[in-house]
């Protein structure tokens, strides 16, 4: 049996959680004070995911970059692939919050979306 110690990020409590695994399967979760902790711990030890935030250059905008994020969570092991792919992405002004900047990034099924409005620069 393997034990993994985690600090939960499911809510502001930051519980110290112990997950017991047997052959990769979760046998028990202890230390959480809410169900979010149980769900977070099970997912973190079996299939960890993250939201990625970054920025990309904007062509023709009033500012030179727009902040972006994944529209959902991606597998943790894809973070560096996504960041490498974002180095080649450019947005064209105007950009609206929620606009898809890159669809299905790295085959994850998750889009990269803008988190800021960027107006077109006056000519």
Q: Give tens-digit pLDDT for 48-60.
A: 999 999 999 999 9
Cα separation values, 5 from 17, 31, 54, Å: 6, 10, 29
> Is residue 81 one of the residues assigned to a domain?
yes
Mean pLDDT across the chain: 96
In sequence order, the β-bridge partners of residue 22 are: 25
Residue ranges making up the domain that contains 62: 53-114
Is residue 106 domain-shared with residue 66, that is, in the same domain?
Answer: yes
> Is residue 85 one of the residues assigned to a domain?
yes
Confidence bin at 115 (pLDDT 50/70/90): very high
pLDDT at position 123: 74
pTM score: 0.85
Domain count, the chain: 2
pLDDT at position 36: 94
**What's the average model confidence in pLDDT over 11-40?**
95
Confidence bin at 96 (pLDDT 50/70/90): very high
Is residue 65 domain-shared with residue 106, that is, in the same domain?
Answer: yes
State the CATH number of the domain containing residue 100.
3.10.530.10
Is residue 26 domain-shared with residue 76, that is, in the same domain?
Answer: no
The residue among 100, 109, 105 whose CA lies nearest residue 79 is 105
């Amino acid at each position: 049996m393997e034990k993994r110690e985690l600090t939960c990020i499911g809510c502001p409590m930051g519980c110290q959680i112990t997950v017991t695994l047997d052959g990769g399967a979760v046998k028990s979760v202890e230390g959480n004070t809410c169900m979010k902790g149980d769900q977070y711990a099970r997912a973190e030890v079996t299939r960890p995911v993250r939201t990625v935030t970054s920025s990309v250059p904007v062509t023709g905008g009033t500012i030179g970059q727009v902040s972006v994020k994944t529209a959902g969570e991606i597998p943790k092991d894809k973070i560096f692939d996504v960041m490498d792919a974002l180095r080649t992405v450019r947005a064209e002004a105007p950009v609206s919050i929620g606009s898809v900047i890159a669809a299905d990034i790295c085959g994850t099924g998750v889009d990269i979306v803008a988190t800021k409005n960027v107006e077109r620069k006056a000519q």
